[in-house]
Structure 1
Amino acid sequence: MTAPNTRPVGGRVVDPATRDHQEDQVDLLLQSVQVGDPLADAVVAEFDELGDDAKDALRHGLVAGRASVPDAPPEVDALLADAETVPDWVDTELLAQGDKVSLAVPDPWNRVAFSAGSLTHTYSSPTIARLLVGTGRLTSTAPRRIAETGLWNAAVVLPGGLLTGAPGYVQTVQVRLLHARVRASALAHGWDSARWGAPINQADIARTWLDFTLVPFSLLEIVGYRLTEVEQRRLYSYWYRVAHLLGLDERFFVGVESHQQADTLCNLFDSTLAPPDENSRALVAALYGAAATGLAATPQSPMDEQAWRELLHAVARRHHGDEAADALAIPPSPLTPLLPLIALAESRTRAHQLRFPEVLRQAEQAGIDRFRAFTTLLTDHTAYQTHMEGTR
């Protein structure tokens, strides 16, 4: 039973007070929950019809360019044309330099923000969690799937990674097509769009975009790592290109230049979702186990696995709030009282980084070296690459 004076649409419930203050965004949200990605969905259908020829054309076109496959099937050609089009709101100079804002985040805080922030927020959506658990993607193979997401993120943020034909560009389009494949499979197996909205719909993609821009850096503020206004504008501008390659409606993100603007959008999405369910809790439990193990295994790790798990719990509860953490079965942590001390130390390090440009450049280079090394760790194909393989 829904609350009085609310309007349920595709699994979303919007309070009239919210509509009064954000009418345009609310209307866009309610429309978007029933919309997938027509271009990518058409390509997946063409794969099913034409098989290896269509897949070969797309694989070749992504790396070598659309002009290299003049005889590409029509839907593949349309997707390549869309991907290669660089809208005028994309800053191409930033693409050549990479996501310097993300690259400068020190390890292990980058991993903590990725796990306790980005992925925890993603999995808190019951519709996304239902899809992931239903396809067996994470609960049984969490370390692998986390590594695959990390590989994509690394390819995206490295200098030149989003230029046409570069690894981040190619992998982002592959992720887009994996979304379309999951969407087609869910619909073929009885997914109730009227109840839950379209699987991996436009609102879900927009929320995921926020999981790699707003969410990790909001969490990092808890430990004293804050972005300047200039850095915030640079971050969101860089990720405009990612959003475009993922097939996201530009009305969601063009013009977002600050955490404040992004937070308004994120709060709207989150306020309309149902609470996390058992699927969300299963994913988060698997995530934290894998993340703690990975952090403890890094060279010269200052803590063991249990301590890393407790730190993840502490920052997650502080960032997402006790109510959300309880719903996700994230327990209280004995390390919570230490967060102010951690933040004080990290804020001093961050102030030094911002005061001396050379120190900041060194941090960015360390990030480049770390992410480049990470891209060599997975030598076989990821899930988003495997589904595009042919049978030849």
Structure 2
Amino acid sequence: MITKPKLEAPFRYKHNTSSFAHYWSAGAGVELLHKLDKNLDLKEAEAYIPLLFKSDDLADKLVEEVHLKFGFAAGHRMLIDYLENRTLAQYVRFIFDDFFAKIDLEPNWVDWDLLAVGQRLCQRGGLTSLIVLRDYCLMGGYESAAINKPLIYTGALEKGAVRRLSDTVEFWVQITKPGNIHYRKEGFKQIVRTRIMHALSRKHIQKKTDWDESSWGKPLNTWDMLATHLGFTQVFLVGLRKMGLEPTKEEVAGLFHFWKYVSHLLGVPLELLADNEEEAIEQLYYWTMTQREGDADSKSLAHALQEEPIHAFYPKTALMRKMMREIHLFYNHYLLGDYSCSLLGLSKTTIGRLAVANIWRNRKHEKLIVEGADRQIYIDAGALEQENVRKLYEKFNRQAPRGS
């Protein structure tokens, strides 16, 4: 249960009047609100304020005892050695034993068959799933000044958008493979590594920078982690539908169940995680409508993502990389709308409109599935598309220099 706040709201908490307010009054949010059988009152959002000052104590304790004591590289090797059941010093093994013992790795509430349905929906979208994640969920998140502040404080602009996207694609492909998020499988390792990186980033920001909790809450706090969860579920669903996919009721239920388990492993309290669209829409409304509008950092991050194709190492020619930028800009405007893109300072595009062909393709495939085509054919094809993108990032971009 969410309890009423006992803490004063930080500077970041305000009723949004531009970016997200437009989403709910004139954008995709209008249709979402129609799915609810009640009106939402922003006074209810105040119950979430304490989550801005909470974070993942379990992971914080682990990095204090391992990574901050032995160094990041050594701590990372120890984690991998533990997950691959290699020999470790007894003291270190005890620390990891204690960490994993406090996580319910096989909850009795998990329906593994339903979870796999959600994974297959993520795969079925193929390139479209990755486009929605990049050009809608990620870019749209930059409309909040607050949730992106940890990226600025950890030097994300200097490290570059190419590396961040490469890591995101690796994470996505590994966790969406059915059976791959069980204990010690590769998807599970990706989830745990991500959780540890969040804790390390939080500790770095708190110890090494002038981060002000009275302004921004804790870095990578629990409410922002819940918002990230909503990005992978409710916002992702809106994007898929806009791109021409029509998930079934079972696929939607599977998506929420899949991400409930993933976010549970990432350290988000179970009682916060929505089981369905109605709950998620309400949570998304309260988070977005209490976000301070984007600022100069937001525009800098948006510009870096806009220019990411130019600095990537694939396609091989500069002309084709410029074309990729225009295609992504088309999707930014198509998915987010011109109003949001203007706030983020994103360029307009004409030639990128050629990408509409992908939306037509999706609609054609959905029609064929409705008419009786084998859904598994499209799941397999989509999974292969995503794996090919993962390999391209791995081959061309993992050695990208800083700032690319």
User: The TM-score by the shorter chain falls in which range?
Assistant: 0.7 to 0.9
CA distance in 2, matches of 1:96, 1:111: 18
Query: Is contact 2:123–2:383 with CA below 8 Å preserved after alignment?
Result: yes
**Equivalent residue, structure 1, for 2:381:** 366
- Counterpart of 2:344 in structure 1 is 328
Q: Verify the 8 A CA contact 2:103 2:265 in the aligned structure 1.
A: yes
Are the aligned partners of 1:151 and 1:374 in contact in 2 as well (CA < 8 Å)? no
Gaps of 5+ in 2: 1-7, 17-23, 25-38, 400-404
Whole-angstrom CA distance in 2 between matches of 1:337 and 1:365 = 27
CA 1:288–1:184 in structure 2 vs 1: closer, same or farther (change >3 Å)? same
- The alignment status of 1:58 with 2:79, answered yes or no, reads yes
Secondary structure of 1:126's aligned partner: coil
Does the CA contact (< 8 Å) of 2:59 and 2:196 recur in 1? yes
Residue matched to 1:386: none
Quick one: which of 355, 368, 373 aligns to 2:371? 355
The structure whose RCO (Cα within 8 Å, separation 6+) is larger is: 2
Deviation at 1:250, TM superposition (A): 1.6
2-structure distance, mates of 1:97, 1:8: 39
1:143 aligned onto 2:144: no
Q: CA deviation at 1:90?
A: 1.9
The aligned residue for residue 276 of structure 1 is 294
Q: How big is each residue's C-alpha offset from its partner over 1:133-157, in whole Å with a ceiling of 9 and x where there is no partner?
A: 2322245522122111110111110
Cα contact 2:142–2:301 (8 A) shared by 1: yes
> How many residue pairs end up in the alignment?
366
Q: Does 1:171 align with 2:186?
A: no
Matched-pair contact (CA < 8 Å) for 1:98–1:161: no
Deviations 1:323-370 (A, max 9, x none): 322221123443798898865553232121343352x21111123334
Aligned counterpart for 1:226 among listed residues 246, 249, 254: 246
CA displacement at 1:314 relative to structure 2: 3.4
Mapped partners of 1:310, 1:192: distance in 2 = 38
1:7-66 per-position Cα deviation (integer Å, ceiling 9, x unaligned): 843521258xx9x9458962442111111110011111112564278666533333349x
How far apart, in 1, do the equivalents of 2:69 and 2:199 lie?
17
Q: In the TM superposition, what are the counterparts of 1:109-124 in structure 2 within 5 Å?
A: 109-124=128-143
The residue number in structure 2 matching 1:286 is 304
Structure 1 SS opposite 2:14: strand
Q: Note closer, same or farther for the CA distance 1:382–1:292 as it changes in structure 2 (3 Å cut).
A: closer
> 1:284-323 to 2 correspondence within 5 Å?
284-291=302-309, 297=315, 304-323=320-339
TM-score (norm 2): 0.78
RMSD: 3.7
Find out whether 1:41 has 2:60 as its counterpart.
Answer: yes
User: Closer, same or farther in 2 for the Cα pair 1:153/1:341, shift >3 Å?
Assistant: closer
The question of 1:264 aligning with 2:282 is answered yes
Identity of aligned residues (%): 21
SS of the residue corresponding to residue 9 of structure 1 reads coil
Where does the alignment leave 5 or more consecutive residues of structure 1 unmatched?
1-6, 384-392
8 Å CA contact 1:275, 1:327 repeated in 2: no
Query: Matched residues in 2 for 1:215 and 1:382: separation?
Result: 28
Q: Which amino acid aligns with 1:350?
A: E
Alpha-carbon contact 2:117-2:254 (below 8 Å) kept: no
Aligned to 2:270: 250
Alpha-carbon shift at residue 91 of structure 1 (Å): 1.8
TM-score by length of 1: 0.80
Instruction: Give the distance between the partners of 2:313 and 2:76, measured in 1 at CA.
Output: 37
Q: Relative to 1, partners in 2 of residues 1:58 and 1:10: Cα closer, same or farther, differing over 3 Å?
A: farther
Distance 1:348 1:293, change over 3 A: farther
Q: Deviations over 1:209-254 (max 9, x none)?
A: 1222222331232232232222111111111111011100122214
Q: Among 117, 125, 141, which residue is 1:105 paired with?
A: 125
SS at match of 2:394: coil
8 Å contact from structure 1 (residues 210, 262) kept in 2: yes
Q: 1:346 aligns with which of 328, 343, 362?
A: 362
Residue 205 (1) aligns with residue 222 (2): no
